[in-house]
Structure 1
Amino acid sequence: MNFQNEIIKWYKVNKRELPWRNTTDAYVIWLSEIILQQTRVEQGLPYFNKFLANFPTVSSFAAASEIQVLKLWQGLGYYSRGRNMLFTAKQVVDMHHGAFPVQYDELVKLKGIGEYTAAAISSFSNNEAKAVLDGNVFRVLARYFGIEEPINSTAGKKIFTALAQSLIENEQPALYNQAIMEFGALQCKPKSPLCHSCPIQLGCYALKNKKVDVLPIKLKKVKVKKRWFNYFVGISDGHILTKQRSPGDIWQQLFDFPLIETDEQPSLNQADFIKKVKNEFGEDVKITLVSEKKHLLTHQIIYVQFFALDNYIINFNLKTDIKSVLLEEFEDLPHPKVISDFIDVYIKTNQI
């Protein structure tokens, strides 16, 4: 049994029809690859369609503002990807006169394009013999060949890279790369893989040795940090209080509400918390708890509380980071998902 032939044969029967598979346009492929990083196809497809509709060429993307890009990106998470895309589009216009590169060695020089993405773009657009290594491919290779080295260790990356590259030699790179990625996504799934109908089950190390649930092995993640965000929602005369998040933290440059971050969940009976609130919004301010939510990020858990403000005073000359904008303007700004969800549930329905 030839591993590559079986994977390709499976792919031709089972592949999903996806728009970026019907083109060799490196720009379109780049859009899909960046959007689908850390994102399921079902979630990423509407974003891909939105971006392509708004920016049909890399030159039109390069001419966009960061606010436009972040608003389109809203809800996908990992917002640095969106910012990096804008930077990359400008690089392509400046360095390549608007012609998106198709060669691996040129692609890896662009911001936000690492080895995996460069391999994907160069193979799909230019049929370059560069093996892709995403989570799906790692999983297929680890299970089938019985590789127990952690996929995120230095030694593991070397082993998997060498193996993946050896498998693509003398193959059709674009077809084989697409096939093994799709095989991992649909057949050799992380949980409940379809081993009973797998065309390569006879040669699979993990299935023979009852290690399907064990492989691939990954080094433990870093410790998850817990944070408490206390947002204050002030609405008056069709205006709402907002601020733009600073660089160097999560959601940088996105817009949220005035915030007091605490080391634990505060209560309305805590004197030090109430003192902070009054320092921000005046001695006569009244606050009402509207909503609580736990928001999960890769390495952080954000415990969010939303408080409605009443009878508040803001000195905008002192608190220059806080602005008062029309509700319609606020809705058009890019927000973290936890804020956009709150807008949809409470503000658009006039519950606050």
Structure 2
Amino acid sequence: MPPEQFQQKILAWFDEHGRKDLPWQQDINPYRVWVSEIMLQQTQVASVIDYFNRFMARFPNVRSLADAELDEVLQHWAGLGYYARARNLHKTAQRVAANQGRFPQTVEDLSALPGIGRSTAGAILSIACGQSQSILDGNVKRVLARFHAVHGWPGDSKVTAQLWTISSQYTPGQRTGDYTQAMMDLGATLCTRSKPRCEICPVINGCQAYRLDLVNQLPEPKPRKTLPVKRLLFLVLQDKQKRILLERRPPAGIWGGLWSLPEFADRQQLQDWCLQHGYQLNEPDALPGLRHSFSHYHLDYTPLLATLQNPINCVMEADSPVWYKANDVYSLGLPAPIKRLLQQHYLEEHYDENG
């Protein structure tokens, strides 16, 4: 199927069936498109909508995001995962704000900003600026890999380069923003990973994977490997005033910049930590172990509940560890598993006792 015919069929399908009422499709500008594209990385549309609306209500423009404290940005991101995205949003907002609030107008300059890759840059420029720029997000990779029967894992550099060539050939000079949205919609609603709806696909007649009965085999999955397992103890420590001890995690790495519970490799490390800080605890109660899976390892963790026995004069300050009252915990950026743990085993208890 020639590129021009492919484009026409995709745009005609979009005009009739494409999604046009998503919140980031209203009041389109580079800032709103950028935030939505970052949120949609490895996250389903249905999960992003509420987060996007809350984020825009608090940070309606790039200046408000740039001026905000990182902790508040992380708080509004908590639950979306992949927190490096939020940290990069904040860094990029500050750079754009320093440029009088203007986003770069080339793929190369946009891609130089933290957290913006070639595909995200293309989406911003095509949707918000009307430029003829190609994209290659996960949905588009799947559509093109099937349409051209491209074998191999799309994350492989050679396969990715091949798909970028195809994407560039098929990107139109006009209505590129609609075409970009149409390709993402096609992958999200018809050319899905499982149970694709090929019978109503607008380009079924040219699809090589359909012709060769390879739809369920393409794109090929990433070669499987066994994920390592990391085991930790999380200490849920409260004092006699029912305050809970939290620490801010380092800015880089898993849950970077968020507030979390003190963590330990084993009980001996916990005891050493208590001696270092002068904390006297009752014997911690171990809760059933839990698992939280990241992209590159499984985290098996055991929560330990304990109460501080000796009085400690603590002042609320920026440096961790810090004692927080129950109500204050809600104002912090917390990893989703930690927030659930506190809600279940600490905050419930607090409110049961205090009404």
Deviation at 1:9, TM superposition (A): 1.5
Q: 2-side partners of 1:92 and 1:284: how far apart?
A: 48
Residue 65 (1) aligns with residue 69 (2):
yes
1:55 paired residue number: 59
Which residue identity does 1:341 align to in structure 2? Answer: R
1:279 to 258, 272, 278: 272
Q: Is the 8 A contact 1:147 1:216 kept in 2?
A: yes
Change (3 A) 1:226 1:37: same
Deviation at 1:295, TM superposition (A): 0.6
1:250 paired residue number: 254
Q: 1-side partners of 2:45 and 2:284: how far apart?
A: 41
Deviation at 1:62, TM superposition (A): 0.6
Deviation at 1:173, TM superposition (A): 1.0
What secondary structure sits across from 2:349 in the alignment? coil
Which residue identity does 2:44 align to in structure 1? Answer: R
1:292 paired residue number: 289
Deviation at 1:280, TM superposition (A): 3.5
1:156 paired residue number: 159
Change (3 A) 1:291 1:167: same
Q: Is the 8 A contact 2:127 2:177 kept in 1?
A: yes
1:292-317 residue CA offsets vs partner (Å, 9 max, x unmatched) = 32111111111121111135559899
Deviation at 1:218, TM superposition (A): 4.1
Deviation at 1:289, TM superposition (A): 1.9
Q: 2-side partners of 1:46 and 1:130: how far apart?
A: 28
Structure 2 counterparts to residues 1-352 of structure 1, below 5 A: 2-16=5-19, 17-94=21-98, 96-220=99-223, 223-236=226-239, 237-262=241-266, 273=267, 275-281=268-274, 285-310=282-307, 312=309, 321-350=320-349
Q: 2-side partners of 1:279 and 1:24: how far apart?
A: 54
Q: Kindly, what percent of the aligned residue pairs are identical? A: 29
Q: 1-side partners of 2:308 and 2:179: how far apart?
A: 64
1:11-38 residue CA offsets vs partner (Å, 9 max, x unmatched) = 1222222122234311111111111111
Q: 2-side partners of 1:23 and 1:321: how far apart?
A: 41
1:267 paired residue number: none
Which residue identity does 1:326 align to in structure 2? Answer: K
Alignment gaps of 5+ in structure 1: 263-272
Runs of 4+ in 1 over 4 A off after TM superposition: 311-317
Q: Is the 8 A contact 2:238 2:308 kept in 1?
A: no
Which residue identity does 1:27 align to in structure 2? Answer: Y
What secondary structure sits across from 1:124 in the alignment? helix
Cα-Cα RMSD: 2.2
What secondary structure sits across from 1:349 in the alignment? helix
Q: 2-side partners of 1:108 and 1:238: how far apart?
A: 47
TM-score, normalising length from structure 2? 0.88
Which residue identity does 1:122 align to in structure 2? Answer: L
**Count of residue correspondences:** 338
Change (3 A) 1:3 1:321: same
1:48-100 residue CA offsets vs partner (Å, 9 max, x unmatched) = 11111111111111100000100000011111110111110110011x21123
Q: In terms of mean alpha carbon deviation, does 201-210 or 298-307 score higher? A: 201-210
Which residue identity does 2:324 align to in structure 1? Answer: V
TM-score, normalising length from structure 1? 0.89
Q: Is the 8 A contact 1:137 1:184 kept in 2?
A: yes
Change (3 A) 1:286 1:23: same
Deviation at 1:206, TM superposition (A): 1.2
Alignment gaps of 5+ in structure 2: none
1:269 paired residue number: none
Change (3 A) 1:314 1:169: farther
Deviation at 1:179, TM superposition (A): 0.7
Q: Is the 8 A contact 1:295 1:338 kept in 2?
A: yes
Q: 1-side partners of 2:255 and 2:280: how far apart?
A: 31
Which residue identity does 2:104 align to in structure 1? Answer: P
